[in-house]
C-alpha cells in the first residue's frame, strides 16, 4: 500500500464531505442527447491518484473528456453535487454465472457499484463457454461478464465419477485439448478449486500442465488453493510454483487464514508473497471483507469421511465453531435453513459433532438420489486483524465471491462495506486506495485494458457515489438489503442503476 500523507487524506475527505452537503446529486432531464456531462464531481480515476474536482463527458460508449467542461447544447447533465465519480467496480471473483441469465438486472452487483463480474471461479465454469457467451449476448445484462475456464469442469467431463485418483497422461492431454477450446472461445484463463471435488484429487503436476496451456495462450491462473486451513502455506507454495514455472500472472482467490492456528499469521503470508514478487513472480490476491465464508459441509473434511468423529471434532474446534456455522441450504430438512449447527444439535438433543455427522449422512442421501448438491453452509473462520492486513497488501483487490441471489451478505455489500467501514469509519485505506483496489488494480490483475480507470477513450463504466453515506446494509439475517450511498451506475455510457432502482438498459457485454 503506497504511503500517503495523513493530513492530505484528511483534507481530501473533508473536501468530499463539505461538497456532498452542498448540492443534491440529481439527473437533469433533457431531450435525448449524444453525450452526457457529469458536473461538479470529484473524479477518483482508479489509479490511486488523489481525487480531483471537475467534470466528465461521455459520448456514446466512451469517456470523451475529463476536466473543467462547459455544457453543450441539448446535452444531458448529471449534477454530481460534489460526490465521487469513479470507474465502475470490477468483481474479480463472482458466482453470477449461476443466475445472471435469469436475473439480468444483476441488482446485487450494480447496487454496490459493480459494472463487470468475472465468473468461472473455484474450478467451475459454464461449459462450453461458447454457448454461455452466446446466450448472454442474446439476452445481455446490466453488467459486463468475463469467465475463466474451470479445471474441475474439465476434470469432471473427462473423468466422470472415477475422479478419486490422479489423472492419466491421456486424461490430462484431453483436459488440455478442452482448455485450448475454451480459451479460444474467450476464457480469460484457468481457474481451479483444489479444495473441492474433483480437483482435490488432482496431482500438482496435472494442474501445472493445464496452467502451462493457459500461460502459452497469454492468459492467467486463479485458484481457490488446495487448503485454506490445515496445509495453507503448502497450498500457497503450490500457486507460487505455478507462477514461477509458467511465468504468467497467478491470483489467490478470496485470500484468508481460515483456521484458529493460522490466526495472526497474515504478516508471514504477506512476507511470503512479497518474496515471490521479488522473484518476478506476478502473484496477487482478491479478498472479501467478512469473517465468514460460504461453501458445503464436506469442504471441512479433506478426506470426505464424515464417519470419522475425530476429524469432524477437529474441524468444528479449529475451523468452523458450531455456533458460527449456519445452513443456507439443507434439502433433507429445509426448516434448518438459517439455523446454526448448535441450534440443530440442541433440537436433536445431541452434541454438535454427532449432529454434523447425522446431517452429512442425510445430505449425502439426498445428493445420491438427485445428483445435485443438497447442502450449503456459512461458517465463521477468520478474524478482523488478518482481514485488515490482507486487504492492505498492495496487490490485493476487492471481490464478492457471491452470486446474484445469495444468502451471504457479501453478494450485496462487499464493495460498499470496504468504502464505508474500512475507508470512512476506520481509515485503513484512503478513498483513492480503496477505489484503486476495486478498479484499476483489478483490471491489471485481469488483463483488462479498456476498463478500470477514468481516462479519455476508456469505456464509460462509471459509478457515482456519496463518500459520506456509502455503506453496506446487508447482514446474515437480511442478506439482500441494498447498499446506501450508490447514486447511479453507468455501463458503456448507459445508466443501469439510479438511486435504488435498476433501469431498463441492458448494455452488458462479454469481455474476452
The CATH code of the domain that includes 124 is 3.20.20.140
**What are 12's three cell numbers?**
481530501
Could you tell me the three cell numbers for 84? 465521487
C-alpha cell at 127: 461449459
Contact 154, 124 (CB under 8 A): no
pLDDT tens digit sequence for 98-108: 999 999 999 99
Beta partners for residue 144, in sequence order: 116
Mean pLDDT throughout 146-154?
98
Together in a domain, 143 and 242: yes
CA distance 233 to 35: 52
Residues 233 and 213 in one domain: yes
The predicted pLDDT at position 94 comes to 98
Please check whether residues 285 and 418 belong to one and the same domain.
yes
Q: Half-sphere exposure (CA, 13 Å, Cβ side) for 434? A: 24
- The answer as to whether 28 is a domain residue is no
The verdict on 131 and 267 lying in the same domain is yes
Q: In what order do the strands lie in the sheet with 325-330?
A: 292-295, 375-380, 325-330
pLDDT band at 296 (very low <50, low <70, confident <90, very high): very high
- Calculated CA dihedral for residues 315, 317, 323, 327, nearest 10 degrees: 0
Chain segment 35-55, per-residue pLDDT in tens: 999 999 999 999 999 999 999
At 95 the pLDDT is 98
Domain C-terminal end among 327, 354, 380: 380
Evaluate if residue 18 carries a pLDDT over 90: no
Q: What is the largest CA-CA distance in the chain?
A: 74
Same domain, 215 and 347: no
Chosen domain end from 423, 447, 471: 447
Q: Cα separation of 59 and 64, whole Å?
A: 6
Quick one: average pLDDT of 384-404? 98
pLDDT for the residue 83: 98
Q: Would residue 32 count as lying in a domain?
A: no
pLDDT over 80 at 25, yes or no: no
Partner residues linked to 118 by β-bridges: 146
User: Per-residue pLDDT tens for 307-335?
Assistant: 999 999 999 999 999 999 999 999 999 99
pLDDT tier for residue 209 given thresholds of 50, 70 and 90: very high
Does 273 fall in a domain? yes
The predicted model gives 128-143 an average pLDDT of 97
Q: Say how many Å lie between the first and final Cα of the chain, rounded.
A: 30
Query: Is residue 249 in a domain?
Result: yes
Number of domains in the chain: 2
Per-residue confidence (pLDDT) for residue 71, from 0 to 100: 96
Specify the residue for cell string 455489500: 413
Angle at 202 between CA 196 and CA 205, to 5 degrees: 135
Q: What average pLDDT does range 61-77 have in this prediction? A: 96
Q: Are residues 299 and 191 in the same domain?
A: no
For 90, half-sphere exposure in the C-beta direction (CA atoms, 13 angstrom radius) is 28
Confidence at residue 19, expressed as pLDDT on a 0 to 100 scale:
37
pLDDT at 34: 80
Q: Is 27 or 363 the better-scoring residue by pLDDT?
A: 363
Residue length of the chain: 512
Q: 7 exposed, middle or buried (CB, 10 Å; 0-12, 13-18, 19+)? A: exposed
CA distance readout (Å), 449 to 443, 490, 512: 7, 18, 11
Same domain, 167 and 245: yes
Give 68: exposed, middle or buried? Use CB within 10 Å, 0-12, 13-18, 19+. exposed
* Residue at which a domain ends, from 380, 408, 425: 380
In the DSSP assignment, the letter for residue 373 is: -
Share of the chain above pLDDT 70, in %: 94
Task: Report how far Cα 293 is from the mean position of its chain's Cα atoms.
Answer: 12
User: Which has the higher per-residue pLDDT, 7 or 241?
Assistant: 241
The position carrying cell 493457459 is 214
Do 107 and 213 share a structural domain?
Answer: yes
193 within a domain of the structure (yes/no): yes
Question: Same domain, yes or no, for 166 and 259?
Answer: yes
What is the reported pLDDT for 118? 98
**What is the model's pLDDT at position 21?**
37
> pTM of the predicted model, to two decimals?
0.92
The CA distance from 317 to 312, in Å, is 9
Q: Where does residue 327 rank: exposed (0-12), middle (13-18), buried (19+ CB within 10 A)?
A: buried
Rounded CA separation 140/494 (Å): 13
Look-up: residue for cell 467478512?
290
Q: What is the pLDDT of residue 32?
A: 41
Range(s) of the domain holding residue 311: 294-380
Residue 33 has pLDDT above 90, yes or no: no
Whether 485 is covered by a domain: the verdict is no
- pLDDT category at 134 given cuts 50, 70, 90 is very high
In a domain, 341, yes or no: yes
Q: Which residues contact 465 (CB under 8 A, 6 or more apart)?
A: 83, 84, 86, 113, 419, 485, 486, 487
Residue 181 lies in a domain: yes
Average pLDDT (121-143) is 98
- Does residue 109 sit in the same domain as residue 226? yes
How confident is the model over 405-433, as pLDDT tens digits? Answer: 999 999 999 999 999 999 999 999 999 99
Do 142 and 156 belong together in one domain? yes
Q: Are residues 367 and 409 in the same domain?
A: no
Per 3-state DSSP, the chain is made up of helix, strand and coil in percentages (nearest 5) of 40, 20, 40
Mean pLDDT of the chain: 94
Res 30 pLDDT > 60:
no
Three-state DSSP at 101 gives coil
Residue whose cell numbers read 467431463: 157
Contacts of 230 (CB under 8 A, 6+ apart): 259, 302
Which residues on adjacent β-strands are paired with residue 77? 28, 37
Angstrom distance (rounded) from CA 425 to CA 472: 12
Amino acid at each position: 500500500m503506497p504511503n500517503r500523507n495523513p493530513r492530505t487524506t484528511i483534507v481530501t475527505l473533508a473536501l468530499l464531505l463539505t461538497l456532498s452537503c452542498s448540492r443534491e446529486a440529481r439527473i437533469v432531464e433533457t431531450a435525448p442527447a449524444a453525450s452526457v456531462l457529469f458536473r461538479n464531481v470529484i473524479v477518483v480515476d482508479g489509479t490511486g491518484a488523489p481525487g480531483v474536482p471537475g467534470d466528465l463527458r461521455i459520448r456514446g460508449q466512451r469517456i470523451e473528456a475529463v476536466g473543467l467542461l462547459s455544457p453543450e447544447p441539448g446535452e444531458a447533465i448529471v449534477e454530481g453535487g460534489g460526490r465521487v465519480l469513479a470507474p465502475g467496480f470490477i468483481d474479480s471473483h463472482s458466482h453470477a454465472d449461476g443466475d445472471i441469465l435469469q436475473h439480468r438486472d444483476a441488482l446485487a452487483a450494480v447496487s454496490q457499484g459493480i459494472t463487470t463480474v468475472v465468473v468461472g471461479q473455484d474450478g467451475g465454469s459454464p461449459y462450453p463457454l461458447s454457448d454461455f457467451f452466446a446466450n448472454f449476448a442474446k439476452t445481455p445484462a446490466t453488467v459486463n461478464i468475463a469467465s475463466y475456464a474451470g479445471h474441475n469442469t474439465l476434470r469432471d467431463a473427462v473423468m466422470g465419477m472415477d475422479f478419486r485418483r490422479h489423472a492419466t497422461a491421456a486424461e490430462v492431454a484431453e483436459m488440455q485439448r478442452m482448455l485450448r477450446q475454451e480459451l479460444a472461445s474467450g476464457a480469460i484463463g484457468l481457474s481451479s478449486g483444489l479444495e473441492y471435488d474433483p480437483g482435490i484429487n488432482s496431482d500438482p503436476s496435472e494442474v501445472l500442465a493445464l496452467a502451462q496451456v493457459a500461460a502459452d495462450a497469454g492468459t492467467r491462473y486463479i485458484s481457490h488453493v488446495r487448503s485454506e486451513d490445515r496445509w495453507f502455506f503448502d497450498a500457497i507454495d503450490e500457486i507460487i510454483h505455478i507462477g514461477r514455472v509458467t511465468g504468467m500472472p497467478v491470483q489467490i482467490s478470496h485470500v484468508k487464514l481460515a483456521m484458529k492456528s493460522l490466526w495472526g499469521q497474515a504478516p508471514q503470508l504477506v512476507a511470503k508473497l512479497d518474496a515471490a514478487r521479488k522473484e518476478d513472480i506476478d502473484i496477487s490476491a482478491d479478498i472479501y471483507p467478512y469473517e465468514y465464508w460460504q461453501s458445503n459441509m464436506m469442504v471441512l473434511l479433506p478426506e470426505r469421511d464424515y464417519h470419522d468423529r475425530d476429524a469432524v471434532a477437529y474441524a468444528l474446534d479449529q475451523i468452523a465453531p458450531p455456533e458460527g456455522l449456519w445452513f443456507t441450504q439443507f434439502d433433507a430438512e429445509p426448516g434448518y435453513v438459517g439455523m446454526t449447527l448448535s441450534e440443530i444439535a440442541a433440537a436433536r438433543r445431541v452434541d454438535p459433532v454427532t449432529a454434523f455427522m447425522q446431517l452429512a449422512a442425510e445430505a449425502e442421501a439426498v445428493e445420491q438420489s438427485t445428483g445435485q448438491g443438497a447442502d450449503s453452509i456459512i461458517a465463521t473462520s477468520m478474524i478482523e486483524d488478518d482481514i485488515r492486513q490482507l486487504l492492505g497488501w498492495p496487490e490485493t483487490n476487492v471481490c464478492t465471491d457471491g452470486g446474484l441471489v445469495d444468502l451471504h451478505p457479501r453478494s450485496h455489500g462487499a464493495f460498499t462495506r470496504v468504502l464505508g467501514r474500512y475507508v470512512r469509519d476506520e481509515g485503513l485505506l484512503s478513498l483513492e486506495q480503496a477505489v484503486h483496489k476495486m478498479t484499476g488494480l483489478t483490471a491489471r490483475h485481469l488483463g483488462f485494458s479498456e476498463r478500470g480507470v477514468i481516462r479519455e477513450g476508456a469505456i464509460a463504466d462509471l459509478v457515482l457515489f456519496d463518500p459520506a453515506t456509502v455503506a453496506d446494509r446487508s447482514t446474515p439475517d437480511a442478506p439482500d438489503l441494498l447498499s446506501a450511498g450508490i447514486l447511479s451506475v453507468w455501463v458503456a455510457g448507459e445508466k443501469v442503476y439510479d438511486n435504488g432502482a435498476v433501469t431498463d438498459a441492458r448494455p452488458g457485454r462479454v469481455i474476452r
